[in-house]
Amino acid sequence: MADGGSVDGKGIGARVLRKEDARHLAGKGKFTSDFKRPGQKEMAFVRASVAHAHIKSIVKPAGYEHAIFTSEDLPGLKPMRALSKLPGYKLSDYPALAAGKVRFAGEPVAVCVADSRADAEDIAQMVEVEYDILPAVTDMLAAKKPDAPLVHDEWEDNIVFETFSDDDFQKIADEATVVIRREYRMNRQAMNPMEGKAVFAEWDDRQDQLMMWTSTQVPHLIRNGLAEFLDLEQRQVRVIAPDVGGGFGCKALLQPEELVAGYLTRKLECPIRWIEDRREHLVTGANCREHHYQITLHATPDGRMLGLDCDVTVDAGAYSVYPFTNGLEGAMAHGNLPGPYNFKAYKCRTQTTVTNKPGLMPYRGVARPGVCFAMEMTIDALAREIGMEAHEIRMKNMVPESAMPFMSIAKKHFDSGNYAKSVEMAVDMIGLEKVRASQGVPTDDGRIIGVGMGSYVEQTAHGTSVFSSWGVAMVPGYEQATVRLTPDGGLELRIGVQSHGQGMETSMAQMACEVLGIDPDNVMVTHGDTGLTPYSTGTYASRSMVMAGGATARACRVLAERMEIIGAHLMQCERTEVSIAGGKVVSGKGEVSFAEIGRVWYLNPDELPEDVDQGGVEVTMGYRPEPDSGAFTYASHACKISLDVETGKVKVLDYVIVEDCGTIVNPMIVEGQTFGGATQGIGTALLEESLYDEMGNPGASTFADYMMPSATDAPMYRVDHMESPSPFTEYGIKGMGEGGTIPTPAAIGNAINDALKQIGAEVMETPFTPRRVRAAIEAARDRKEGEAA
Amino acid sequence: MKPAKFEHQRMASLDEAVKALGNAEGETRVLGGGQSLGPMMNLRLAQPDVVLDLSKVEGLDGIEETGNAIRVGARVSHARIEDGEVPGKTGDYMQFVATGISYRSVRNRGTIGGSVAHADPSADWPSALLALGGSVTAAGGNGIRTISLDGFTVGPFSTGLGWDEILTGFELPVLGTDANWGYYKVNRKPGEFADAIGAVTLGVEARAVCGATESAPFRVTEIEERLASGVQEVSIAEVRDILDRYDAGFDDYELQIHAVALSRAVQGAFA
């Protein structure tokens, strides 16, 4: 019997161990690649070996024609088309299998089907594709030039869309006597969840329905996409995300492979499976982060930042991804560049260009690691210029707590927080004074020390109005949750978001515990199944705890009221005399367990009161914060690094994080998310880079070439929390899943430039590889020699 | 990422393996621990018709000291070397090298013979053993022969082994208890392949190697002469000047890190 019992201290704020860990630690999780069915076939893709070409011919080897499919063999399969209402936005089609032209190396050209993956790869190897090779455009700045090759022939240029906002800089001209100009570049990366993409498709004749198990963050959106592009009715599609080993954004989008699997399972009348391998992932998934900044900061000699003027270029790759488009990064860069600072003037132009590389996807932090990098590096450049500590500039210019809620110059509605306090705490934790004292002492191993920091404010759980303003066709609305009391007093909780490492089976159960006092162990959380859960746009934008958590709280409250009516009747007392506590309905006369309530509703309804709610003990409620402009998490990260001047190699010696995500539901989950995010940020800062040659051939297709951060690269993070509840959300919760990635490149870059200050060198391009650091040092020395001569 | 079809033959003895290699039709590869050949086959960069698996062949996994030499079998894993099974000063040096190879699960399976026969320019053993000196033993159709480690690595993925020969082990010098050695690897992360290697031993002779080049590692005689004359420090700038005279195809950064590696290897030898 699932007796709730007394569960003090397992609700909001408790360090509850993750329920899902039990199965994962025992290797008993069930992922898409664990599904097996009699007669299943495996897919392997023939992928473009060149970045930009017309396909002249595809020759299938004799005897294997039945096992190979090109776009011509799949009539009725529509190309993906992601709509956007952004003014001037140019639409493009993304065919699941290349039709006529390939636009990036790795693009699927044909699919081969066989009993095993190895057999399918054998067939794929025999397929001969003849290309008419075109010049490739691989650089976002080169893509803007008038003579650049066109990625999409029907466009007049390679610019997807632009945003522009101007301001009157004359109003600050008299005061802003210090002008800092910099150029920054954040290079392309591949986000690397432990589990790659994976799909298992099967047509269910009984239901007349496509069943698709797929490694996704957004099962309901995948259903929308499958129905639209496979031309099925929505009732004919059910999507289930089983255990998913991380996503980081690349699984928040419809994949070409999902469409092909869905098509072929019906055509071939057998289950179809595709498990992405890491090489496919590193080549086709090299799709994030790539930004360029030309930034000018106008300030006063005493460190007041008055105006910001920036040209941002975003490299969107070849295709626009469904449903979020390739417009998100540019729009978000524009709106987030000024960060937590109170500027008087802001001018920004963003241009998003297409190139012959995989289509840009939103990666954990979306655009903000780039803008934070550009903004925070510029602040430190200002600090060096005027001889001030950079943290003092930050604190001086941040929107103060007393001004909250506050509409920023980029029209972000900050809800709550003491931004400057996070800076002060981080400076204290990293021991800035001590580091400064140690910097004067030369080390005997040729290493120099630097300290740097990065601060950010992050819009999370933003809702309808925000996504609508970005022009995307798929806008989140009210999030819903369903709760159902079981006959033995347990609780089933169904949510449309998807947990792929966030621990939501635990944190959502904690939310139910907070309202009902039920032990989280007695709450079964079902997620990631379009057949069982309410519609949701899914897990992205650090939204799930705020949105689905808020909906859970509301559903639990209504359930509580209904249980109180039954409980009051069973105790023969007035409704006003009872309340819910510790997983029971209690009154002065005694108590009734949830199990007793369940028994009466399901098994002995003859004992129910007349005024019982006929909806019973199952409730669906919707929720959206009001206003839905987002809950703003913020943090300051500070780090100490050592830099080997002779090799250019950087080591992170110490790393501290002060973060404020409002009310914390489970501190262990918050810390785990933060550490994981920061480690990915170290990847951006020091290691990860998807390289291309001028023909668009990828240069990093294995982990021998693509450096991932691992345990040896992660410092022992030290974290401190602040808690400024959002006035607009249930329990004041703010989203926090992405934030850890955002300020890390800036913090490490600033620490490097702090160390290099004595040499007069500066790095401005991620990752800060030993080669780039050495180049910066050499350039500074050459400059000095030039000046001396 | 599945290998193309191939025939896997598990060899019961060295004789059988040599015979099989001599008689093989089509491309034949010898499998040691499989930590390089395995991934290359999975990536289909290598598509052998036949793989001769030495994992059950006895007599290739010994480590023994025979007076003035240490014999190390080809199938000795990096992990056993890391765990200190090779005796004496030579063992100390090799232990240090082994500890920096990839991560433990790779070291458990990867073998020293496989690494040297594979001759990846970025791998540790071809450079480290060249700096130690000694020889390779190989078995082939014409019997057993000994090949000097000097010049054994010819270029990337290319060695002095004949097409019908199997690398069976190494005869390595015993470094005296007072012998100095230094090994410095420049790489992006712990365990990663090297971007530059500097290796120095001062046994009977002074040997200094510049490794992890585009091609084969090479001895740097100017440094060896200095070491032999008692010099205990060579600055990065000096090594740069020396290496610049070799036709190693380095760009400025590569020249710099190879100079750093060798300078620090010397420094490490006398630390």
Same domain, A117 and A265: yes
According to DSSP, residue A359 is labeled P
Out of A275, A305, A333, pick the residue that ends a domain: A275
CB contact under 8 A, B2 and A687: no
**Is there a contact between A710 and B44 if contact means CB atoms under 8 Å apart?**
no
Boundaries of domain holding B235: 180-269
State the CATH number of the domain containing residue B84. Answer: 3.30.465.10
CA distances (Å), A517 to each of A205, A424, A693, in order? 43, 38, 59
Q: Nearest Cβ partner of B186 from A279, A647, A707?
A: A647
Cα A469 to Cα A618: distance, rounded to the nearest angstrom: 35
- Over 80: is that where the pLDDT of A266 sits? yes
Tell me whether strands A108-114 and A68-70 are parallel, antiparallel or unpaired.
antiparallel
Task: Look at residue A6 and tell me whether its pLDDT is greater than 90.
Answer: no
Number of folded domains that form chain B:
3
Q: Does one domain contain both A593 and A684?
A: no
Judge whether A148 lies within some domain.
no
Residues B75 and B160 in one domain: yes
* Any domain includes B254: yes
* CA neighbours closer than 13 Å in the CB half-sphere of residue B190: 9
Q: Is A714 on the interface with B (CB under 8 A)?
A: no
Integer angstrom CA distances of residue B53 from B20, B61, B107, B157: 11, 14, 18, 19
* Whether residues B239 and B168 fall in one domain: no
**Across A678-689, average pLDDT:** 98
d(CA B76, CA B84): 12
Q: How far apart are CA A467 and CA A593, in angstroms?
A: 43
pLDDT digits (tens, 9 = 90+) for A75-125: 999 999 999 988 999 999 999 999 999 999 999 999 999 999 999 999 999
A592: CB partners within 8 A, 6+ apart:
A566, A567, A570, A571, A584, A585, A586
Q: Is A121 helix (H, G, I), strand (E, B) or coil?
A: helix
- Put simply, whether B5 touches A (Cβ < 8 Å) is yes
Q: Do A50 and A95 have their domain in common?
A: yes
Give yes or no: residues B71 and B162 share one domain.
Answer: yes
Does residue A740 share a domain with residue A633? yes
Measured CA to CA, the distance from residue B36 to residue B147 in angstroms comes to 23
Q: Does the interface predicted TM-score (ipTM) exceed 0.85? A: yes
Q: Do A771 and B253 touch (CB under 8 A)?
A: yes
Query: Nearest residue on chain B to A644, judged by CA atoms?
Result: B260
pLDDT of residue B250: 97
Q: What is the pLDDT of residue A7?
A: 59
Report in angstroms the alpha-carbon separations of A557 from A2, A513, A628, A650: 20, 11, 21, 52
Q: How confident is the model at residue A4 (pLDDT cuts 50, 70, 90)?
A: very low
The answer to the question of residue A157 being in a domain is: no
Q: Which residues pair with B69 in a beta bridge?
A: B66, B173
Same domain, yes or no: A266 and A126: yes
Where do we find the tokens 């790659």?
A: A196
Residue finishing a domain among B111, B138, B173: B173
The whole-chain average pLDDT of chain A stands at: 96
The structure tokens 């079964």 sit at A524
Please check whether residue B107 is in contact with residue B82, taking contact to mean a CB–CB distance below 8 angstroms: yes
Contact B150, B218 (CB under 8 A): no
Q: What is the CATH number of the domain that holds B246?
A: 3.30.390.50
CATH number for position B21: 3.30.43.10
For residues B201 and B255, membership in a common domain is answered with yes
Test A712 with B192 for CB contact under 8 angstroms. Answer: no
**Does position A305 have pLDDT exceeding 90, yes or no?**
yes
pLDDT at A11 over 80: yes
CB pairs under 8 A between A and B: 53
- Whether A452 is in a domain gets the answer yes
Angle at A411 between CA A409 and CA A417, to 5 degrees: 85
* Closest-CA residue to A16 (of A380, A485, A505, A379): A505
- pLDDT exceeds cutoff 80 at A443: no
For residue A752, the surrounding DSSP H or E stretch is: helix A744-756
Same domain for A574 and A652, yes or no, is no
* Predicted pLDDT of residue A51: 98
In a domain, A691, yes or no: yes
Q: In the prediction, which pLDDT does A1 show? A: 37
Q: B245 — contact with chain A (CB < 8 Å)?
A: no
Same domain, B107 and B70: yes
Q: Which of B135, B156, B173 is the last residue of a domain?
A: B173
Mutate to test the interface with B, among A127, A643, A646 (most CBs of B within 10 A): A646
| Domain assignment of residue B250, yes or no | yes
- The neighbouring-strand residues paired with A483 are A493, A619
Question: Does residue B37 lie within any of the structural domains?
Answer: yes
Chain A: give the shortest CA distance to residue B13, in Å: 30
A552 and A499 within one domain: yes
Whether residue B2 lies within 8 A of chain A, CB to CB, comes out as: yes
Asked if residue B67 is part of any domain, the answer here is yes
Q: Can you say how many angstroms the Cα of residue B55 is from the centroid of all Cα atoms in its chain?
A: 19
Contacts B3 to A, Cβ<8 Å = 118
Cross-chain Cβ contact B43/A279 below 8 Å: yes
B72 and B141 belong to one structural domain: yes
Contact A704 B193 (CB under 8 A): yes
Chain B environment of A648 (Cβ under 8 Å): 253
Domain of residue A750, residue span: 291-464+627-788
Q: Return the axis-axis angle of helices A328-336 and A368-386, rounded to nearest 10°.
A: 30
> Mutating which of B187, B260, B266 best tests the A interface, going by the most A Cβ atoms within 10 A?
B260
Of B2, B236, B256, the CB nearest to A118: B2
* CA–CA dist A246, A191 (Å, integer): 10
Mean pLDDT of A374-397: 98
CATH number at residue A113: 3.90.1170.50
**Are B68 and B164 contained in the same domain?**
yes
The residue of chain A nearest to residue B102, with distances taken between CA atoms, is A704
Q: Does B236 touch chain A (CB under 8 A)?
A: yes
At B129, the amino acid letter reads: L
Tell me, yes or no, whether B164 and B186 share the same domain. Answer: no
- Whether B159 and B70 map to the same domain: the answer is yes
Nearest residue on chain A to B122, alpha-carbon basis: A704
Please provide the DSSP assignment of A314-365 as one string: EE--S-PPTTT-S-HHHHHHHHHTTTTB--SEEEEEEEEE--SSPPP---TT
| B58 lies in some domain | no
Residues of chain B contacting A280 with CB distance shorter than 8 Å = 1
Q: Is the pTM of this model over 0.80?
A: yes
Whole-number CA gyration radius for chain B? 18
| Percent of chain A predicted with pLDDT > 90 | 95
Cα dihedral value A340, A342, A345, A347, nearest 10: 0
Number of folded domains in chain A? 3
The token pair at A150 is 């066109």
Whether B117 and B37 have beta carbons less than 8 Å apart is answered as no
Q: Is the pLDDT of residue A17 over 60?
A: yes
Positions of chain B with pLDDT under 70: none
Q: Where does the pLDDT of residue A440 fall: very low under 50, low under 70, confident under 90, or very high at 90 and above?
A: confident
Give A684's contacts (C-beta < 8 A, 6+ positions apart): A186, A189, A289, A369, A741, A744, A745, A766, A767
- Cβ atoms of A544 and A503 within 8 Å: the answer is no
* Alpha-helical regions (H) of A440-583: 464-469, 504-516, 544-570
Is the sign of the CA dihedral A292, A472, A680, A709 positive or negative?
Answer: negative
Sequence-separated (6 or more) residues with CB below 8 Å from residue A512:
A483, A491, A493, A518, A520, A523, A552, A556
Instruction: Compute the distance between CA of residue A640 and CA of residue A23 in angstroms, rounded to an integer.
Output: 38
Strands A590-593 and B69-73: unpaired
Q: With an 8 Å Cβ cutoff, are A278 and B1 in contact?
A: yes
| Antiparallel, parallel or unpaired: β A345-353 and A523-527 | unpaired
Nearest CA to CA, how far is B246 from chain A (Å)?
20
How many whole angstroms separate alpha carbon B114 and alpha carbon B105? 16
Q: What is the distance between the alpha carbons of residues B51 and B87, in angstroms, rounded to a whole number?
A: 33
One domain, residues A317 and A221: no
CA-based nearest residue in chain B for residue A708: B189
- Of A607, A623, A639, which closes a domain? A623
Instruction: For residues A697 and A104, give the distance between their C-alpha atoms in angstroms, rounded to a whole number.
Output: 8
- Chain A CB contacts of B2 under 8 Å are 116-118, 121
CA nearest to A370, candidates A189, A515, A203: A189
Note whether residue B218 is domain-resident: yes
Q: Residue A702: its chain B contacts at CB < 8 A?
A: 39, 43
* Same domain for B67 and B48: no
* Chain A residues lying within 8 Å of B5, measured CB to CB: 118, 122
Q: Do A646 and B253 touch (CB under 8 A)?
A: no
Average pLDDT over residues A590-614: 96
| Domain of residue A506, CATH code | 3.30.365.10
Residue A11 domain-assigned?
no
Q: Is residue A175 part of a domain?
A: no
Same domain, A258 and A120: yes
Residue type, A542: S
Average pLDDT value for chain B:
96
Residue A472, pLDDT score: 83
**Does residue B68 belong to any structural domain of this protein?**
yes
A702 to chain B: closest CA residue: B43
Position A171 in a domain: no
Query: Last residue of some domain: B133, B151, B173?
Result: B173
Q: Taking CB atoms and an 8 Å cutoff, what residues of chain A touch B190? A: 712
In Å, how far is B185's CA from the nearest CA of chain A?
11
Kindly state whether residues A753 and A640 are assigned to the same domain: yes
Distance CA B188, CA B176 (A): 33
Is the domain of A431 the same as that of A514? no
CB contact under 8 A, B43 and A125: no
For range A192-199, the mean pLDDT: 97
Phi, psi (rounded to 5 degrees) for A184: -125, 150
**What amino acid is encoded at A609 in this protein?**
P
- pLDDT, position A5: 40
Q: With an 8 Å Cβ cutoff, is B186 touching chain A?
A: yes
Is the domain of B218 the same as that of B166?
no
Residue A419 and residue A561 in one domain: no
- B147 in reach of chain A (CB within 8 A): no
Tokens standing for residue A73 = 């063999």
B46: part of which helix (H) or strand (E)? none
Show Cβ contacts of residue A497 under 8 Å, excluding neighbours closer than 6 positions: A479, A504, A527, A528, A536, A538, A539, A543, A544, A547, A548
Does residue B32 lie within any of the structural domains?
Answer: yes
Residues of A in Cβ contact (< 8 Å) with B189: 687, 707, 710, 712-713
Q: What is the pLDDT of residue B1?
A: 87
Chosen domain end from A275, A306, A330: A275
Report the percentage of chain A scoring pLDDT > 70.
99
Residues 99-128 of A with CB under 8 A from B: 116-118, 121-122, 125
